[in-house]
Structure 1
Amino acid sequence: MAHACSKAFLSILNSLLIIFGIALIVLSLYRYNKYQSIHLIIGVIILAFFILFIGILGLIGAVKQSKCALSVYIIFIAPITLALLTILIILYLKRNWFINAIVDNYEKYVTSSQLLDDEKNVDMTRDSFIQMQCCGFKEKNRPKKIFNQIDFCNVIDRSKPLCDEKMKNDLHQNLVTVIIIHAILTGLSTLACIVAAYLACITSNETRYDTF
């Protein structure tokens, strides 16, 4: 029963990986036609083929009970799992640091003369803050060149949140979602590694008994 469930789990998981890899290739070709970003497309296609390779290895190992395929699969999956786990721990422990760093760097950019001297960039930045419904960094309507032109930022009887506070709240919510998704991927990768090792051991034992 455990053997059958392990084969089914590994087969389904790696079939999904193959589908995801194919979808990435199709998406990258679509994006190339739309944006002509060759460097990004090449990177995505390389990633897609790597995912396809891992998925095919795992699927062959599970369906054919190939010890060789399962062993190579484990060699690739084990370091990926360790990397995912390391990133997950760093994201969780340093989440506030990441959020503060992003907001502080964006504040420096918004208040810099490089942006404020460029009317086109000022207009684009102003539009983004209108969508965010916020008014100013650290204090209301700072920098004034951007926020004084936003109507709701100049209404006395209405208060809007500061943009740094709004960004921190939004980033915190998004980062929590990223951490949850990352935790699920780490769990699946760990489980795939364990199941592949289990199937490889069973296959090795069956081969040994057959020789006797």
Structure 2
Amino acid sequence: MAKISPCFKKIFIFFNSLFAIFGIVVFVLALLAHQFANEPNGLHGVILLYVIGSVIFIIAVLGAYGAYKESKCALIVFFTVMCLATIGMLRIAVPMAAYRQELISAVRQQFGTKEVFNKDVENALDSMQAHLQCCGLNGYEDWKDQAPESCNCVNEHGPSGKCKKITSRKSYQNFWQDHGSESRMVWSQPCGPIIIEYLDKLITIVTGVLFGLATLAILGGLMSLAMIVRVSAPETAIHLSSFPLSYQPPKYSEVVNS
């Protein structure tokens, strides 16, 4: 069997070791996120992290093993996975980069419709309004007279225009209490533009990561293909036994008398 260059092999194993460590880091992050994920939607993201971390680790170990043992079968599997991963990532990254503005415009337009407001959206807004210091997708008017407590402006003496005084229905109404209204300060900034800004940054990061990983996958595929070709090449050893090693003088020699 033909030998792979030791330097080439070490470089390939080194990069696969880095990817194996990266897979472990992703898996550990999934474990940490699992402790804080209570809702089903959050668990879906955690499960995806588990799968991504495990797949990266397994593929990296397979590639390192194939190079170290010069296993043609392992290298072929690694090469196939790299090709599939490259195609999959480019199929996501290219349309995402090409239709980025259209996607953001569609989300912005959807925020302006009433159909977007449902129980899930309201729960998501309620959890992010206090953190983002905003109220409603398009403003506090989205809640009409039932703005939740997460809209309450905790910095009433902040910059001008940051808080808005509104009159809302009391949330603690019962038979004995007054069914009236109350005045309070809420965040005047809508959450929609902030969410769109975060979405724009997220698309940029995801697209860059996908293109970067696709480039590394192409590089890994080419390196594994070179090793497959080298391992598959027939051995061209020279057998010295086929050549005579002993010297035999010629049968006839001319004697020159001096």
TM-score (norm 1): 0.71
Higher share of residues assigned strand: 2
- Cα displacement (A) at 1:186: 1.0
- Cα displacement (A) at 1:20: 3.2
Q: Deviations over 1:40-92 (max 9, x none)?
A: 67765555443333112210222233322211211121111111111110211
Give the match's secondary structure for 1:137.
Answer: coil
Q: Which residue of 2 aligns with 1:164?
A: 192
How far apart in 1 are the matches of 2:218 and 2:34? Answer: 34
Q: Please say if 1:58 is aligned against 2:86.
A: no
AA paired with 1:66? S
Return the index of the structure with the highest Cα Rg.
Answer: 2
Q: Which residue of 2 aligns with 1:189?
A: 217
AA paired with 1:154? K
Q: Which residue of 2 aligns with 1:85?
A: 90
Give the match's secondary structure for 2:59.
Answer: helix
Higher share of residues assigned helix: 1
Q: Which residue of 2 aligns with 1:15?
A: 17
How far apart in 2 are the matches of 1:115 and 1:87? Answer: 26
Q: Comparing 193-202 with 138-147, which one deviates more in the overlay?
A: 138-147
| TM-aligned CA distance change 1:28 to 1:175, over 3 Å | closer
Q: How many residues of Structure 1 are paired with residues of Structure 2 in the alignment? A: 201
Q: Please say if 1:73 is aligned against 2:68.
A: no
| TM-aligned CA distance change 1:111 to 1:90, over 3 Å | same
Q: Which residue of 2 aligns with 1:134?
A: 134
Unaligned runs of 5+ residues in structure 1 are none
AA paired with 1:170? Y
Give the match's secondary structure for 1:154.
Answer: strand
- Matched-pair identity in %: 24
How far apart in 1 are the matches of 2:7 and 2:112? Answer: 49
Q: Comparing 171-180 with 39-48, which one deviates more in the overlay?
A: 39-48
Unaligned runs of 5+ residues in structure 2 are 154-161, 167-186, 240-258
Q: Comparing 98-107 with 195-204, which one deviates more in the overlay?
A: 98-107
TM-score (norm 2): 0.60
How far apart in 2 are the matches of 1:31 and 1:211? Answer: 60
How far apart in 2 are the matches of 1:69 and 1:92? Answer: 34
